[in-house]
Amino acid sequence: MPSVYGARLTTFEDSEKESEYGYVRKVSGPVVVADGMAGAAMYELVRVGHDNLIGEIIRLEGDSATIQVYEETAGLMVNDPVLRTHKPLSVELGPGILGNIFDGIQRPLKTIAKRSGDVYIPRGEGDLVTGGDLYATVFENSLMQHHVALPPDAMGKITYIAPPGQYSLKDTVLELEFQGVKKQFTMLQTWPVRTSRPVASKLAADTPLLTGQRVLDALFPSVLGGTCAIPGAFGCGKTVISQALSKYSNSDTVVYVGCGERGNEMAEVLMDFPQLTMTLPDGREESVMKRTTLVANTSNMPVAAREASIYTGITIAEYFRDMGYNVSMMADSTSRWAEALREISGRLAEMPADSGYPAYLAARLASFYERAGKVKCLGSPERTGSVTIVGAVSPPGGDFSDPVTSATLSIVQVFWGLDKKLAQRKHFPSVNWLISYSKYSSALESFYDQFDPDFINIRTKAREVLQREDDLNEIVQLVGKDALAETDKITLETAKLLREDYLAQNAFTPYDKFCPFYKSVWMMRNIIHFYNLANQSVERAAGMDGQKITYSLIKHRLGDLFYRLVSQKFEDPAEGEAALVAKFSKLHEDLTAGFRALDDETR
């Protein structure tokens, strides 16, 4: 099937009316001012100059239009023609998107998707259909089925539907009649990128986004349909976390937008993703690329296209959501997108706000993040889908008071704050457990109750231990560790266990690159069980006349159990859930028996 994504629009030679185009009066970087544009609309797509550069009208004043050009404007001259297209900047939505790599305005950078036949499961002629109804299925690849839906603004009675067979994206596959007027449809839809696609209703999210990273899944969980921010300085691992989510999350499909990041990072994605595989529940290995769409807009590409790439990505994500899929969109990074807004705003001579960003920065960020969520899709069959947005933020020097970071934190529900000091200590993922938070914990209580009724209490205790360690560190620096009470020594050692052997993960090992949720829960349960038993033993012995129990005694007598606690992370999920749960529950029982024997000895 030949790709039509990024097909050429109307050129000057195709237009006969002089009123269809104006002329260039002024060029300032990516911003062009054109005269003779009376009748043009805001955000209308135009073609600028003899090279048909793609641009978008962002301001109208009299018969002059200010145009944001998405390509290099070198060589444009005064009086060059500007052609109007009478349509907004839109993306083409249809089979063939998955596995493709686009730039910010959906021009294909590389074709990876397999060219395969289309297998139809059509509805019958004479049926009444409305916007959002699924009427056919196309084989996308061995991982994904592409459901073809009626555009949201269409309805009528089916007068023709194509039989099973092979068709191109521009072949007519459906004909509807509404109020005596017939209209043909292809598998291709176009949709304005700045307009969110309609839904039947928004739903409360109640299913966790499982990422395979223990610090995210256990301590700061997100939901399918949530909004997350990953702010951090250079070298903290924002891109690595975004890529880990793309590889291992429980989403059905992933849209990865590289917005203004360094070219070598996108080159790494383009080289690695086609070679990476994911293990399906039935044991099959499939390429990650089969469920991924890449929108690549590196820092050396035109700034204006960077601003459009975020909207292109979220529109593609909404398209898959409307099929009933759970979609994750990674935006790396929204800071570069905000810098594009700042440059365009500066060239328009708008009044700057904090750090030179436009005053409407927070509103633009909010309008982007509000397109996330779990929804009931339009049409039949009844289905739900979700879009989860994970936005990486790159504040200069890791300063979280940066306007983009501040505006983002006022919008998103999950904050995974990366710490430069943790990254320098080679602690990855470098998520700081003291400043990060999630507002979805209460929404996921029903899920946790079904999975493990004790998990919420265990997680609360783990957070308390980590917070208590931070408080005790100041005392230790002043008076030393030996001056602490035995219970405080236990707290410090348990916190070290949590930090080094639970929160830190090695992404380059087969056993730790991905951690299933059951393994995360059992590891935390055993560590907190050790903490509770050790505290109980110390406190019980303190009130008796026998031998006092100290932390050094516990570690000496129960050294083998402590070693097994440290070694929990080495258990390979490839052995299967039943085998791992048996090992973890055996350790749980051995901890109980070991402390009981220690108590009996010291009485």
Please name which of 393, 415, 407 lies closest in space to residue 358, comparing C-alpha atoms: 407
Are the beta carbons of 161 and 177 closer than 8 angstroms? no
Tell me whether residue 94 is in a domain: no
Tell me whether residue 30 is in a domain: yes
Cβ neighbours of residue 222 closer than 8 Å, sequence gap 6 or more: 208, 209, 211, 216, 228, 388, 390, 413, 414, 438, 440
Regarding whether 278 and 333 lie in a shared domain, the answer is yes
Q: Name the DSSP class of 230.
A: E
Q: Residue 177: beta bridge partners?
A: 157, 182
Domain boundary among 166, 189, 212: 189
Give the burial string for 377-395 (b: 16+ CB within 10 Å, else e): bbbeeebbbbbbbbbbbbb
Whole-angstrom Cα distance, residue 550 to residue 541?
9
Tell me whether residue 161 is in a domain: yes
Are the beta carbons of 311 and 193 closer than 8 angstroms? yes
Query: Over 70: is that where the pLDDT of 118 sits?
Result: no
The encoded tokens of residue 208 equal 């966790």
pLDDT band, very low/low/confident/very high, at 18 (cuts 50, 70, 90): low
Is 585 in a helix, a strand, or coil? Answer: helix
Regarding whether 162 and 222 lie in a shared domain, the answer is no
Regarding whether 430 and 456 lie in a shared domain, the answer is no
Q: Residue 190, Cβ neighbours under 10 Å: how many?
A: 13
Query: Over 70: is that where the pLDDT of 121 sits?
Result: no
Enumerate the H helices of 296-398 as residue ranges: 303-321, 334-347, 361-369
pLDDT of 306 reads 83
pLDDT of 123 reads 42
Here the CATH number for the domain that contains residue 126 is: 2.40.50.100
Whole-angstrom Cα distance, residue 600 to residue 592?
13
306-318 pLDDT, tens digit per residue, is: 888 999 999 999 9
Q: Which amino acid would we find at residue 283?
A: G
In this structure, what are the phi and psi dihedrals at residue 593, rounded to the nearest 5 degrees?
Answer: -65, -40
pLDDT of 115 reads 34
Q: Which amino acid would we find at residue 93?
A: L
Can the peptide bond before residue 95 be classed as cis, meaning omega within 30 degrees of 0? no
Regarding whether 349 and 211 lie in a shared domain, the answer is yes
Unique residue bearing structure tokens 């176009």 = 190
272-304 pLDDT, tens digit per residue, is: 777 877 777 677 788 888 899 988 888 888 888
Give the chain's domain count.
4
Regarding whether 225 and 139 lie in a shared domain, the answer is no
Mean pLDDT of the chain: 87
pLDDT of 251 reads 92
Q: Name the DSSP class of 431.
A: B
Q: Name the DSSP class of 592.
A: H
pLDDT of 164 reads 86
Regarding whether 312 and 342 lie in a shared domain, the answer is yes
Q: How far is CA 200 from CA 315, 319, 531, in A?
A: 17, 14, 49
Cα four-point dihedral sign 15, 18, 21, 23: positive
Whole-angstrom Cα distance, residue 277 to residue 275?
7
Whole-angstrom Cα distance, residue 349 to residue 94?
39
Q: What is the average per-residue pLDDT within 485-509?
A: 93
Whole-angstrom Cα distance, residue 603 to residue 594?
15
Regarding whether 71 and 176 lie in a shared domain, the answer is no
Q: How far is CA 428 from CA 308, 371, 471, 516, in A?
A: 32, 30, 23, 17
What percent of the chain is helix, strand and coil (3-state, nearest 5)?
Answer: 35, 25, 40
Q: Residue 18, Cβ neighbours under 10 Å: how many?
A: 9
Please name which of 125, 143, 147 lies closest in space to residue 135, comparing C-alpha atoms: 147
Regarding whether 256 and 169 lie in a shared domain, the answer is no
Regarding whether 534 and 400 lie in a shared domain, the answer is no
pLDDT of 64 reads 95
Unique residue bearing structure tokens 């266990």 = 497
Whole-angstrom Cα distance, residue 392 to residue 227?
11
190 or 305, which is more confident?
Answer: 190
Q: What is the average per-residue pLDDT within 114-142?
A: 65
Regarding whether 577 and 502 lie in a shared domain, the answer is yes
Residue 400 belongs to what domain range?
201-437
Regarding whether 322 and 248 lie in a shared domain, the answer is yes
In this structure, what are the phi and psi dihedrals at residue 561, rounded to the nearest 5 degrees?
Answer: -65, -40
Tell me whether residue 445 is in a domain: no
Q: What is the average per-residue pLDDT within 357-382?
A: 94
Tell me whether residue 273 is in a domain: yes
pLDDT of 507 reads 85
Regarding whether 328 and 283 lie in a shared domain, the answer is yes
Here the CATH number for the domain that contains residue 465 is: 1.10.1140.10
pLDDT of 425 reads 92
pLDDT of 272 reads 79
Are the beta carbons of 242 and 230 closer than 8 angstroms? yes
The encoded tokens of residue 62 equal 């009299």
Q: Tell me the CB-side half-sphere exposure of residue 61, using CA atoms within 13 A.
A: 7
pLDDT of 288 reads 85
Indicate the range of 86-100, 274-288, 344-358, 501-515 predicted with least confidence.
Answer: 274-288
Q: Which amino acid would we find at residue 450?
A: Q
Q: Residue 53, Cβ neighbours under 10 Å: how many?
A: 22
- Provide, rounded to the nearest whole percent, the portion of the chain with pLDDT above 90: 56
Tell me whether residue 363 is in a domain: yes
Are the beta carbons of 493 and 552 closer than 8 angstroms? no
Query: Over 80: is that where the pLDDT of 6 sits?
Result: no
pLDDT band, very low/low/confident/very high, at 144 (cuts 50, 70, 90): confident
pLDDT band, very low/low/confident/very high, at 566 (cuts 50, 70, 90): very high
pLDDT of 113 reads 35
Q: Residue 91, Cβ neighbours under 10 Å: how many?
A: 23
Domain boundary among 402, 437, 472: 437
Tell me whether residue 459 is in a domain: yes
Indicate the range of 79-93, 121-135, 395-409 predicted with least confidence.
Answer: 121-135
Are the beta carbons of 253 and 291 closer than 8 angstroms? yes
Question: What is the β-pairing status of strands 326-332 and 253-259?
Answer: parallel
- Provide, rounded to the nearest whole percent, the portion of the chain with pLDDT above 70: 93
12 or 581, which is more confident?
Answer: 581
Here the CATH number for the domain that contains residue 396 is: 3.40.50.300
Tell me whether residue 7 is in a domain: no
245-274 pLDDT, tens digit per residue, is: 888 899 999 999 988 878 787 788 778 777
| C-alpha Rg value of the chain to the nearest Å | 28
Cβ neighbours of residue 462 closer than 8 Å, sequence gap 6 or more: 218, 219, 498, 524, 527, 528
Here the CATH number for the domain that contains residue 38 is: 2.40.30.20
Whole-angstrom Cα distance, residue 308 to residue 340?
10
Q: Residue 506, Cβ neighbours under 10 Å: how many?
A: 12
265 or 380, which is more confident?
Answer: 380
pLDDT of 536 reads 92
